[in-house]
Amino acid sequence: FFFCISVRVPYFIDLKRPQDQGLNHTCNYYLQPEEDVTIGVWHTVPAALWKNARGKDQLWFEDALGSSHPVILYLHGNAGTR
């Protein structure tokens, strides 16, 4: 097995700005499950909310988590990408 923990694909993108990748329905968050551990995550709302999500702030996305839509966690691995 080969693990590329320092490779970012696509190259040279700012993972803090998912909207730069055309993801206008996505918000960047950081979780800190324990001291000295920070995990970057993207919250993408369901397609039914995409139009409403454009230009909204983090509080709007947090409120959207309370909708009746299910939450799906996608755990992609540890290659430094999202």
| C-alpha dihedral (29, 34, 38, 39), degrees to nearest 10 | -60
pLDDT tens digit string along 14-70?
Answer: 888 888 888 889 999 888 999 998 888 888 999 999 999 988 999 999 999 898 988
Domain ranges of the chain: 18-66
**Alpha-carbon distance 82 to 75, whole Å?**
9
Q: How many CB atoms lie within 10 A of CB 36?
A: 5
**Alpha-carbon distance 44 to 28, whole Å?**
9
Q: How many angstroms separate the Cα of 62 from the Cα of each of 7, 10, 28, 43?
A: 30, 27, 11, 9
pTM of the model: 0.68
pLDDT-based confidence at residue 81 (cuts at 50, 70, 90): low
